[in-house]
Amino acid sequence: MRPSAHVRTEPGERPVEQRVERPGRRSGRRPGTSGAARKAILTAARQGFAERGYDRTTIRSVAREAGVDAALVHHHFGSKADLFQAAIDLPVDPSVIVRALTEGPREEVGERVVSVFLDLWSAEAGRSAFLSLLRAAVSNQDAARALRSLITSNLLEPVARAVGRRDAALRATLAASQMVGIAMARFVVGVEPLASAPPEDLILAVAPTIQRYLTGSLRD
């Protein structure tokens, strides 16, 4: 039973019990505003998913790194899958990326795709989100679906449709396979000399392949 204390009352009144918290009892909430706690949880989750992957990142580990109770993580985000979806929210609207890829000469779309993707993966704001996706997708189907949807359906398929070629879905998946492979080798596995190659060298090497996937013949 919880300990209680009686509050002194006036004569004739019945005593009212008042709950007394145990010393050292945690409230389950991080000091400060709810918004600050939510931000701390997201920061810890992005770091955890990026560094340890989906399976090895737990609600408890995220809560510990954020300085909150695990119950507060569940309160804000629900399950680990829901937390993962919130954590991979990109700092750039996909529609903005699509416009950047489709505005310009059609014969340079391959170059723009490689350049934009390398910029996104290299920038500090997007690195943790993409690394979380890449590492988690290796072992978790939810993460793999999220990665496919982001790169294929939300980014490259609209580009393939915009350049006016048929089989946009196939072309998008071909281009995505190339870019995801480069991201894994360069940013996750660290395969040299690819990992340290200058971005301009990668653009020159990879852009013609992406160009053919998106605009050229797939049978030649």
Per-residue pLDDT tens over the stretch 145-175 = 778 887 888 889 999 999 887 899 999 999 9
What percent of the chain clears pLDDT 90, i.e. is strictly above it?
44
Residue bearing tokens 């995505």: 176
Average pLDDT over residues 49-57: 80
pLDDT at 126 over 80: no
Average pLDDT over residues 83-92: 74
pLDDT at 61 over 60: yes
pLDDT at 12 over 70: no
Cα separation, 132 vs 43, whole angstroms: 12
- Is residue 215 a contact partner of residue 109, using CB atoms and an 8 Å limit? yes
Top-confidence residue, 118 or 17: 118
pLDDT level of residue 89 (50, 70, 90 thresholds): low
Which residues have CB under 8 Å from 163's CB, separation 6+? 102, 106, 109, 214, 215
Top-confidence residue, 21 or 131: 131
In 49-123, DSSP assigns E strands to: none
pLDDT of residue 94: 80
Q: CA-CA distances (angstroms) from residue 168 to 45, 116, 163, 164, 173?
A: 34, 20, 9, 9, 9
Indicate the range of 42-56, 57-71, 98-112, 147-161 predicted with least confidence. 42-56
Residue type, 200: E
Q: Which two tokens stand for residue 162?
A: 């915009």
pLDDT of residue 23: 42
**Chain segment 168-218, per-residue pLDDT in tens:** 999 999 999 999 999 989 988 899 999 999 999 999 999 999 999 999 998
pLDDT at 6 over 80: no
Q: Which two tokens stand for residue 112?
A: 């723009």
Summary mean pLDDT of the chain: 81
Nearest one of 166, 180, 202, 119 to 157, comparing CA atoms: 166
